[in-house]
């Protein structure tokens, strides 16, 4: 490998391979993350802020609460509000984040090129592409998703500020850091980087430090003053306790892949400071970005205050990749160059050509992986519902069945309530009022291809399909009216049941939580384990003379049992997990009772104050839905 010849290059020569990397990255990121964002509970919380702002003219300058006990992300919410106001929908927002991330990959390559050369640029490109993805929430619309891109912007700007120091450049670096601090709280650490780099300026360093601090402070505060006022109040009240849940298992720091890479890059920087200070200087800018994040991350993890996660390293991915790439390229060069020099001139020339071609090879490799990515990374999982899934399902429900949002609230069943809520709250275009009958049921399911029935009955619609799975909407005829039932609770160790009228409301405020009125609150259940029995007064329907109930045993679902029924014949299918009801007694209202042990580990984690999922309806539909759900505990 030839030594870097930075001064001989012109920017124009680099443009083709940089564009190749950008194009390949766009392709690969869209192929692996999908063209539509995955349904995600935090996106729904963000949507509430957007709706409050654009519809109710109540825009927050405080932002959302973080698990660490502070408020943040207001700047990111401003950006989402700006996009929404400009008419950019969820798919467009997701696409903008993905394209920006691909641009970030290219910027990381630029940074590595400037420090070392093309070979390092190629390695950095591959490292960034390898590190981003689902762990950095790139598949969803969230405040974490833009961070790898913003981190790469900060990196190239930091390099520029370091090589050509000037007060405007220092100020711009501080302002970009201020933007990042308001996207995600870890961006606050950019102020340390700005000051670190300002202290490296040969002349007028204290002036640079002052400009860096003022630019960062002012931009941070101006974008979201409420955030920092509130956080200051919370911190002064000792209200911040870290993100670690008391009693819950915490991850070991080095079980996090990005933490390992980060530690490796810092170790190289420290070792080179001792062994080869000239090499260390090439890594100083990346270290100024990496160290301010890694120190609190490691200390927080080792003192038990912080549960480390990949996402906390999102904004330093570019810097880590560049530091490792420069180190690797230098190591290869140190070994290879003497060999090449001792060999023929042809070998030396070939080495130079290979080094020049390396970024094209990296772009080609990325394109090759994109071509072989048949479906988004998590497409095979049950939880992978995208915005397109829920938007298409909503379109089918409104156009084919005339449903309003109230119908969906009461009659749509999903394994995860977040999916149902996304379908109701995210897409627009619900009818004001829908059909009055409460007994039509719809199941929205993500079904792995191997579990798809060979032919779908007319009651089932395929909403979307990819090479890994399909999203199905299964209609059923039911005896249960979800708007009215009784919820009975028996605390562990007690015999008496306390019952309350319950029912899924037709209207629900978007600010409210997931609880169903009359059901025990999720927090209470976690404090004291209890048994929940739901008693459904049944409304037999002539359209479905036989009614079937099944309690599926699938991950993410609180698993219950059928207690029994009155006023109709009930026949259990081998166990209390599956029953068929027939022959309702005339003049009586049959009743079905189902029980859950909410103290059971899975239930206490998954219960959210709403009726847990089970399958009910005409036997054909219940069989179909049950056959598509894999048994997994």
Q: Please, which residues have CB within 8 angstroms of residue 191's CB and are 6 or more apart in sequence? A: 174, 177, 181, 212, 213, 216, 217, 220
What Å distances lie between residue 477 and 380, 485, 561, 584, 617, CA to CA?
A: 29, 18, 21, 16, 5
- Out of 16, 92, 239, 556, name the contact with other proteins by CB under 8 A: 239
* Binding status of residue 65 toward other proteins by CB under 8 A: yes
Considering the complex, state which of residue 246 and residue 574 has its C-beta at the smaller distance from other proteins: 246
- Out of 22, 26, 98, 159, name the contact with other proteins by CB under 8 A: 159
Q: Which residues, numbered 498-557, are part of the site for other proteins (CB under 8 A)?
A: 509, 511-513, 523, 527
Stretch of 211-219, 260-268, 308-316, 542-550 contacting other proteins, by CB under 8 A: 211-219
* Binding status of residue 83 toward other proteins by CB under 8 A: yes
96, exposed or middle or buried, with CB in 10 Å at 0-12, 13-18, 19+? middle
Calculated CA dihedral for residues 117, 122, 128, 130, nearest 10 degrees:
-150
User: Whole-angstrom Cα distance, residue 273 to residue 323?
Assistant: 14
Considering the complex, state which of residue 172 and residue 620 has its C-beta at the smaller distance from other proteins: 172
Stretch of 222-230, 309-317, 463-471, 621-629 contacting other proteins, by CB under 8 A: 222-230
* Binding status of residue 229 toward other proteins by CB under 8 A: yes
What Å distances lie between residue 308 and 127, 131, 192, 299, 417, CA to CA?
A: 21, 16, 20, 10, 27
Considering the complex, state which of residue 62 and residue 367 has its C-beta at the smaller distance from other proteins: 62
176 token code pair:
């970009």
- For the packed helices 118-131 and 11-33, what is the interaxial angle rounded to 10 degrees? 20
Q: How far is CA 523 from the centre of its chain?
A: 24
Collapse the DSSP code of 248 into the 3-class scheme (helix H, G, I; strand E, B; otherwise coil) and give the result.
coil
Stretch of 241-249, 325-333, 556-564, 619-627 contacting other proteins, by CB under 8 A: 241-249
Considering the complex, state which of residue 153 and residue 557 has its C-beta at the smaller distance from other proteins: 153
Collapse the DSSP code of 564 into the 3-class scheme (helix H, G, I; strand E, B; otherwise coil) and give the result.
strand
Minimum distance of other proteins from residue 601's CB (angstroms): 21
Cβ atoms within 10 Å, residue 606: 20
Q: Which residues, numbered 166-195, are part of the site for other proteins (CB under 8 A)?
A: 167-169, 171-173, 175-176, 179, 182
* Binding status of residue 346 toward other proteins by CB under 8 A: no
Minimum distance of other proteins from residue 372's CB (angstroms): 31
> Which strands make up the sheet holding 569-572, listed edge to edge?
569-572, 578-582, 547-550, 615-617
Minimum distance of other proteins from residue 516's CB (angstroms): 15
Considering the complex, state which of residue 92 and residue 338 has its C-beta at the smaller distance from other proteins: 92
- Out of 24, 129, 157, 629, name the contact with other proteins by CB under 8 A: 157
Minimum distance of other proteins from residue 377's CB (angstroms): 27
Size of the site for other proteins (CB under 8 A): 82
Stretch of 77-85, 396-404, 455-463, 623-631 contacting other proteins, by CB under 8 A: 77-85
* Binding status of residue 225 toward other proteins by CB under 8 A: yes
Minimum distance of other proteins from residue 628's CB (angstroms): 34
- Out of 3, 19, 241, 353, name the contact with other proteins by CB under 8 A: 241
Helix/strand/coil (H/E/C) assignment for every residue in 473-506: EEEEECCECCCCEEEEEEECCCCCCEEEEECCCC
* Binding status of residue 569 toward other proteins by CB under 8 A: no
> Which strands make up the sheet holding 530-537, listed edge to edge?
498-502, 485-491, 530-537, 591-597, 560-566
Considering the complex, state which of residue 61 and residue 127 has its C-beta at the smaller distance from other proteins: 61
Q: Which residues, numbered 433-472, are part of the site for other proteins (CB under 8 A)?
A: none
* Binding status of residue 58 toward other proteins by CB under 8 A: yes
Stretch of 123-131, 133-141, 158-166, 447-455 contacting other proteins, by CB under 8 A: 158-166
Considering the complex, state which of residue 164 and residue 633 has its C-beta at the smaller distance from other proteins: 164
* Binding status of residue 212 toward other proteins by CB under 8 A: no
Considering the complex, state which of residue 211 and residue 598 has its C-beta at the smaller distance from other proteins: 211
End-to-end alpha carbon distance in the chain: 52
Considering the complex, state which of residue 235 and residue 271 has its C-beta at the smaller distance from other proteins: 235
Tell which residue, 387, 385, 513, 587, has the closest CA to residue 48: 513
* Binding status of residue 268 toward other proteins by CB under 8 A: no
* Binding status of residue 215 toward other proteins by CB under 8 A: yes
Binding mask 114-153 for other proteins (x = CB under 8 A): x-----------------------------------x--x
Decide: 27 and 367 in contact? Cβ < 8 Å. Answer: yes
Cβ atoms within 10 Å, residue 161: 27
Considering the complex, state which of residue 21 and residue 565 has its C-beta at the smaller distance from other proteins: 21
* Binding status of residue 218 toward other proteins by CB under 8 A: yes
* Binding status of residue 219 toward other proteins by CB under 8 A: yes
Minimum distance of other proteins from residue 212's CB (angstroms): 11
* Binding status of residue 79 toward other proteins by CB under 8 A: yes
576, exposed or middle or buried, with CB in 10 Å at 0-12, 13-18, 19+? middle
What Å distances lie between residue 146 and 88, 98, 179, 294, 524, CA to CA?
A: 16, 8, 12, 20, 36
* Binding status of residue 87 toward other proteins by CB under 8 A: no
- Out of 26, 39, 107, 124, name the contact with other proteins by CB under 8 A: 107
User: Whole-angstrom Cα distance, residue 69 to residue 478?
Assistant: 44
Q: Which residues, numbered 246-265, are part of the site for other proteins (CB under 8 A)?
A: 246
Sign of CA dihedral 457, 460, 463, 468: negative
Q: Which residues, numbered 409-428, are part of the site for other proteins (CB under 8 A)?
A: none
* Binding status of residue 203 toward other proteins by CB under 8 A: no
Tell which residue, 532, 464, 470, has the closest CA to residue 498: 532
* Binding status of residue 619 toward other proteins by CB under 8 A: no
Decide: 573 and 564 in contact? Cβ < 8 Å. Answer: no
- Out of 26, 61, 126, 129, name the contact with other proteins by CB under 8 A: 61
Count the alpha carbons within 13 Å of 86 in the hemisphere toward its beta carbon. 10
Tell which residue, 140, 211, 220, has the closest CA to residue 177: 220
Collapse the DSSP code of 549 into the 3-class scheme (helix H, G, I; strand E, B; otherwise coil) and give the result.
strand
* Binding status of residue 160 toward other proteins by CB under 8 A: yes
């Amino acid at each position: 490998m030839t030594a870097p010849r930075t001064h001989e290059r012109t920017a124009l020569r680099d443009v083709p391979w940089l564009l190749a990397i950008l194009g390949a990255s766009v392709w690969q990121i869209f192929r692996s993350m999908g063209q539509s964002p995955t349904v995600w509970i935090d996106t729904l919380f963000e949507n509430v802020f957007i709706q409050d702002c654009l519809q109710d003219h109540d825009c927050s300058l405080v932002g959302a609460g973080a698990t660490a006990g502070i408020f943040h992300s207001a700047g990111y919410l401003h950006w989402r509000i700006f996009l929404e106001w400009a008419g950019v929908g969820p798919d467009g927002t997701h696409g903008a984040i993905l394209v920006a991330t691909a641009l970030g990959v290219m910027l990381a390559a630029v940074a590595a090129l400037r420090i070392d050369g093309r070979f390092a640029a190629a390695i950095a490109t591959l490292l960034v592409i390898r590190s981003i993805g689902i762990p950095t929430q790139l598949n969803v619309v969230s405040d974490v998703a833009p961070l790898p891109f913003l981190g790469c912007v900060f990196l190239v700007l930091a390099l520029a500020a370091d090589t050509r120091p000037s007060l405007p450049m220092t100020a711009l670096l501080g302002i970009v850091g201020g933007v990042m601090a308001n996207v995600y709280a870890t961006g606050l650490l950019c102020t340390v980087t700005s000051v670190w780099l300002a202290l490296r300026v040969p002349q007028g360093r204290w002036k640079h430090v002052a400009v860096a601090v003022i630019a960062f402070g002012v931009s941070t505060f101006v974008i979201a003053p409420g955030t920092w006022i509130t956080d200051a109040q919370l911190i002064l009240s000792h209200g911040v306790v870290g993100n670690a849940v008391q009693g819950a298992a915490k991850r070991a720091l080095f079980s996090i892949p990005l933490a390992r890479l980060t530690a490796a890059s810092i170790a190289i920087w420290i070792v080179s400071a001792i062994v080869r200070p000239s090499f260390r200087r090439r890594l100083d800018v990346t270290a100024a970005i990496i160290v301010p994040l890694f120190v609190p991350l490691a200390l927080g993890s080792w003192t038990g205050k912080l549960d480390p996660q990949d996402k906390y390293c999102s904004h330093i991915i570019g810097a880590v990749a560049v530091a490792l790439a420069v180190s690797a390229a230098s190591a290869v060069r140190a070994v290879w160059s003497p060999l090449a020099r001792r060999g023929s001139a042809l070998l030396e020339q070939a080495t130079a050509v290979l080094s020049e071609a390396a970024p094209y090879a990296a772009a080609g490799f990325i394109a090759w992986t994109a071509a072989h990515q048949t479906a988004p990374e998590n497409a095979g999982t049950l939880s992978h519902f995208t915005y397109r899934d829920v938007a298409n399902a909503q379109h089918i429900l409104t156009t084919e069945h005339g449903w309003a949002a109230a119908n969906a609230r009461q009659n749509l069943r999903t394994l995860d309530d977040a999916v149902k809520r996304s379908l109701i709250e995210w897409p627009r275009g619900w009818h004001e009022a829908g059909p009055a009958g409460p007994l039509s049921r719809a199941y929205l399911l993500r079904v792995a291809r191997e579990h798809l029935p060979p032919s779908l009955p007319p009651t089932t619609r395929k909403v979307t399909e990819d090479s890994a799975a399909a999203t199905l909407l299964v209609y059923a005829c039911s005896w249960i009216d979800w708007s009215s039932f009784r919820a009975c609770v028996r605390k562990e160790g007690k015999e008496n049941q306390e019952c309350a009228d319950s029912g899924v409301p037709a209207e629900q405020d978007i600010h409210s939580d997931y609880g169903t009125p009359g059901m025990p609150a999720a927090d209470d259940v976690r404090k004291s384990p209890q048994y929940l029995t739901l008693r459904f007064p049944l409304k037999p329907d002539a359209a479905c003379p036989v009614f079937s109930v099944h309690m599926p045993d699938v991950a993410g679902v609180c698993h219950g049992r059928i207690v029994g029924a009155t006023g109709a014949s009930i026949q259990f299918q081998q166990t209390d997990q599956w029953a068929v009801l027939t022959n309702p007694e005339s003049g009586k209202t049959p009743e079905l009772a189902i029980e859950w042990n909410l103290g059971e580990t899975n239930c206490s984690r998954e219960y959210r104050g709403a009726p847990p999922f089970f399958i009910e309806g005409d036997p054909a539909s219940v069989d179909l839905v049950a056959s598509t759900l894999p048994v997994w505990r």
